[in-house]
Amino acid sequence: MQKLIITAALTGNVPTKELNPALPITIDEIVEDAKKCRELGASIAHMHVRDSKGKPTSDRALFKELLEKIEAEKIDIITQLSTGARGGGNTIEWRSQMLDLNTDMASLATGSSNFPTSVNANSPELIKALADKMYENGIKPEIEAFDVAMISYSKWLLKKGILKGPLHFNLVMNIPGSIEGTPKNLLFMVDSLPEGSTWTVSGIGKSQIPMITLAIILGGHVRTGLEDTLMYSKGVPATNSMLIERVVRIAKELGREIATTEEAREILGL
Ligand code: MG
């Protein structure tokens, strides 16, 4: 079985400091958490940026500053930037503005769905434009699949040559509007992947621990962090470090070794 790649989803677009004061939103705070999570075993940092008011944005200049600071601090972690639909705008120009930066990976949702209070809008035109710009700049997409249809569409994109295999997926489960985070659904998602794919799972909220545990058992990889769950347990606010530590602990109990950043790069073909 492959060693376990742990992705730290540090900030996201939705959480706020009011909901959890440990949420990193400034560049310095995000870099600090990336460093801590790396030390604890995470090998990918999935990152969003916030403007001076703490609002989600896709601002290229902020992503650039973030990447430069990670490099300056010599944090040995795979960088993955969000191109998500809640980053302050929805034009192709806005969503793709950071894709000429020196990042290893970026997120790419291959379909549309609902978030609790907005549309996760990803038109065929947008998907192709984001994918093209990623490949032009040597960036590996992480396919964000919020439902099985997005896996089906990625297979079609592979056939058309718009996506290039082997693909890496994040199975995003249990957002109201996405597929529910149940063991049966996770098995179905994994069964539906194109052959040779690697995959990780984001179990949002309550589905976090069951989805993580099942992914570790199945040979998949896992994502955790304050983007996916603000609470460690009922009444106990999480920190990014606590969430990574818990994954490492579960993996250890289940006998799954944790990948170093170098090993993660090899598994993902970076
Ligand atoms: Mg994200």
Cβ atoms of 203 and 212 closer than 8 Å: yes
Mean pLDDT for all residues in the chain: 97
Interval between CA 113 and ligand 1 midpoint (Å): 15
What distance in angstroms lies between residue 146's CA and the mean position of ligand 1's atoms? Answer: 12
Ligand 1 centroid vs 227 CA: distance in angstroms? Answer: 7
* pTM of the predicted protein model: 0.98
Question: Is the peptide bond between 166 and the residue preceding it cis, with omega within 30 degrees of 0?
Answer: yes
Distance, CA 108 to ligand 1 centroid (Å)? 10
Q: How far is the CA of 144 from the centre of ligand 1 (A)?
A: 9
From the CA of 205, how far away is ligand 1's center (Å)?
14
196 — pLDDT class (breaks 50, 70, 90):
very high
Quote the ligand 1 centre to 20 CA distance (angstroms): 17
Digit-coded pLDDT (tens) for 84-96: 999 999 999 999 9
C-alpha to C-alpha distance for 129 and 164, rounded to whole angstroms: 14
How close is the Cα of 245 to the center of ligand 1, in Å? 20
Of 232, 262, 241, 244, give the one whose Cα is nearest residue 32.
241
- Say if residues 132 and 159 touch (Cβ distance below 8 Å): no
Which pLDDT belongs to residue 59? 98
> What spacing in Å lies between the alpha carbon of 9 and ligand 1's midpoint?
7
pLDDT of 205: 87
CA of 87 to the centre of ligand 1 (A): 9
Residue 44 Cα to ligand 1 midpoint, Å, equals 12
pLDDT digits (tens, 9 = 90+) for 212-255: 999 999 999 999 999 999 999 999 999 999 999 999 999 999 99
- 14 C-alpha to center of ligand 1: Å? 9
Ligand 1 centre distance from Cα of residue 211 (Å) = 17
CB atoms within 10 A of CB 147: 21
User: d(Cα 124, Cα 250) in Å, to the nearest integer?
Assistant: 38
95-111 pLDDT, tens digit each: 999 999 999 999 999 99
110 CA to middle of ligand 1, Å? 14
What is the C-alpha to C-alpha distance for residues 197 and 71, in angstroms, rounded to an integer? 29
- 94 CA distance to ligand 1 middle (Å): 16
Q: What is the DSSP letter of 237?
A: E
What number of other Cβ atoms are within 10 A of residue 260's Cβ?
15
Does CATH number 3.20.20.70 belong to domain 6-268?
A: yes
Ligand 1 mean position to 143 CA, how many Å?
A: 11
CA 201 – ligand 1 centroid, Å: 12
- For range 159-177, the mean pLDDT: 97
Helices (H), the chain: 27-40, 60-72, 92-96, 124-136, 148-159, 183-192, 208-218, 240-253, 261-268
Instruction: Please tell me the predicted confidence (pLDDT) of residue 149.
Output: 98
For ligand 1, the distance from its centroid to the CA atom of residue 10, given in whole angstroms, is 9
